[in-house]
Structure 1
Amino acid sequence: MFTDDKIFTRNGYFNPKNDVVWANNRNDENEHGGIHEREKYPVSIMVALGATWNGITFHFFFQRGERLNGKTYLDELLPFYKMGGDRLFGHQNWGFQQDGVSCHTDKSVQKWCKKNFKFFISKDKWLPNSPELNPLDYSICNSISNNVDYYKVKTINDLRREIEKATKKN
Structure 2
Amino acid sequence: MFTDDKIFIRNGYFNPKNDVVWANNRNDANEHGGIHEREKYPVSIMVALGATWNGITVHFFFQRGERLNGKTYLDELLPFYKMGGDRLFGHQNWGFQQDGVSCHTDKSVQKWCKKNFKFFISKDKWLPNSPELNPLDYSICNSISNNVDYYKVKTINDLRREIEKATKKN
Does the 8 Å contact 1:127/1:133 carry over to 2? no
| CA-CA distance at 1:39 after TM superposition | 0.7
| CA-CA distance at 1:128 after TM superposition | 4.8
| CA-CA distance at 1:32 after TM superposition | 2.9
Does the 8 Å contact 1:74/1:109 carry over to 2? yes
Gapped regions of structure 1 (runs ≥ 5): none
SS at match of 1:51: strand
Gapped regions of structure 2 (runs ≥ 5): none
Q: CA RMSD in A?
A: 1.3
Of the structure 1 ranges 118-127 and 137-146, higher mean CA displacement relative to structure 2 is found in 118-127
Does the 8 Å contact 2:99/2:130 carry over to 1? no
Task: Spell out structure 1 runs of 4+ moving beyond 3 A.
Answer: 128-132
Count of residues paired in the alignment: 170
1:88–1:7 CA distance, 2 compared to 1 (3 A): same
SS at match of 1:3: strand
TM-score w.r.t. the length of structure 2 is 0.95
Does the 8 Å contact 2:152/2:158 carry over to 1? yes
TM-score w.r.t. the length of structure 1 is 0.95
Does the 8 Å contact 2:93/2:119 carry over to 1? yes
1:130–1:17 CA distance, 2 compared to 1 (3 A): farther
Which digits, 9 at most, give the CA deviation of each residue in 1:49-82, with x for residues without a partner? 0000110000000001111000000000000000
Does the 8 Å contact 1:6/1:48 carry over to 2? yes
Partner Cα separation in structure 2 for residue 35 and residue 9 of structure 1 = 18
Of the structure 1 ranges 135-144 and 32-41, higher mean CA displacement relative to structure 2 is found in 32-41
| CA-CA distance at 1:131 after TM superposition | 4.8
| CA-CA distance at 1:24 after TM superposition | 3.6
Alignment of 1:72 with 2:53, yes or no, is: no
